[in-house]
Amino acid sequence: MQPDLPTLQEGELYVVQHGQLKHLERPPDDLPRVPISQAARERLLELRRRCRKALGGFRPDVALVASALIEQGAGSNDAELIVAAYYAATAATRQREHWRGFQRQCGNGSAK
């Protein structure tokens, strides 16, 4: 007889303690990880390198750089327009990837 497993919830953290799977409680202000595009990650890391000179040789943590950009960007008057423009610019790529996945599901592997 197998032990009862807890119902797993997407985005939650779990840990094995004494052979049992336990839900790992997070503080209410703890946010889940947010995936970003590879292009955004590369630009973030490049900015991090460029910041080193401005900070007198100190290489800032990636989270600090991302937080600075988010706080400044989200507080700007045109933040909604920035997000809308990015959404529009990436819509074609998202649609193409969705179509390829659909074609693979249908058994047509010739998606381009």
Q: By residue range, what is the domain housing residue 92?
A: 38-102
* Residue 64 within any structural domain of the chain: yes
* Residue 80 within any structural domain of the chain: yes
Tell me, what's the pLDDT at 40? 92
Number of domains in the chain: 1
Tell me, what's the pLDDT at 21? 83
* Residue 4 within any structural domain of the chain: no
* Residue 86 within any structural domain of the chain: yes
* Residue 43 within any structural domain of the chain: yes
- Cα separation, 50 vs 55, in Å, equals 9
Once rounded to an integer, what is the mean pLDDT over residues 22-28? 78
* Residue 46 within any structural domain of the chain: yes
Tell me, what's the pLDDT at 90? 85
Once rounded to an integer, what is the mean pLDDT over residues 5-13? 75
67: confidence class by pLDDT, cuts 50, 70, 90: very high
* Residue 97 within any structural domain of the chain: yes
Tell me, what's the pLDDT at 108? 63
Asked if 51 and 60 touch (Cβ cutoff 8 Å), the reply is: yes
* Residue given tokens 């179509």 in the structure block: 99
Asked if 52 and 59 touch (Cβ cutoff 8 Å), the reply is: yes
* Residue 81 within any structural domain of the chain: yes
Answer yes or no: is pLDDT of 111 > 60: no
